[in-house]
Amino acid sequence: MSFTYYTEEGLKKLKDELHNLKTKGRSDMAKQIAEARDKGDLSENAEYDAAKDAQGLLEMKISKLEEVVSNGRVLDESNIDTSKVSILSKVKIKNIKNGAVLTYTLVSEEEADLKSGRISVKSPIGKGLLGKKQGDKASVEAPAGKIEFEIIEISR
């Protein structure tokens, strides 16, 4: 069994979403199905079919999220090894070609948000940086082609 590590806030957000889907989501879905059922003959009722399909999708989403949450673990940020890049590392990198300096925090896929500088460990840049040490160079295969980075600093 493999675990996925999250920040405390990230795992809480997933648990809250799961709770919301199980309560409000299921309740809203039951109302939609009841309303569609009240409109008459179920064999020719497109609204009823659509509501039942949506219910199936909701249950699939709940099932997937339950699996994610059950395999989720909070990573103790105080135990992060800053000698090499790992999940929850804050990494300052320099694009060797154009000199641009960027800072990213590596997080789980579900917590990734490029606007706030949080990239997934499964993204091309995230994969290219994992395990590297300060001063190392990382070659990343991005959609735009190969990019070379130098790791300037690793912190938490």
Sequence spans of domains, the chain: 4-74, 77-155
Give me the pLDDT at residue 115, please: 92
The residues that bridge with 116 in the sheet, in sequence order, are none
Give me the pLDDT at residue 1, please: 55
Give me the pLDDT at residue 66, please: 93
CA distance 2 to 125: 22
Record the pTM. Answer: 0.66
Location of structure tokens 């497109």 = 46
Q: Could you list the beta-strand ranges (E) of 11-144.
A: 72-74, 90-95, 101-107, 118-120, 137-142
Topology, domain 77-155: Chitinase A; domain 3 (3.10.50)
Give me the pLDDT at residue 56, please: 93
Give me the pLDDT at residue 19, please: 95
Location of structure tokens 């569609």 = 36
Q: What are the structure tokens assigned to 35, written together?
A: 């309303």
Location of structure tokens 């099932």 = 63
Give me the pLDDT at residue 7, please: 81
Pick the CATH number of 4-74 from 3.40.30.10, 1.10.290.10, 3.20.20.100, 1.10.287.180: 1.10.287.180
Per-residue pLDDT of the chain (156 residues; tens, 9 = 90+): 567 878 888 889 999 999 999 999 999 999 998 888 888 777 778 888 888 999 999 999 999 999 988 988 887 766 667 788 988 889 999 999 999 999 999 998 888 998 999 999 989 999 999 999 999 999 988 888 899 999 999 987
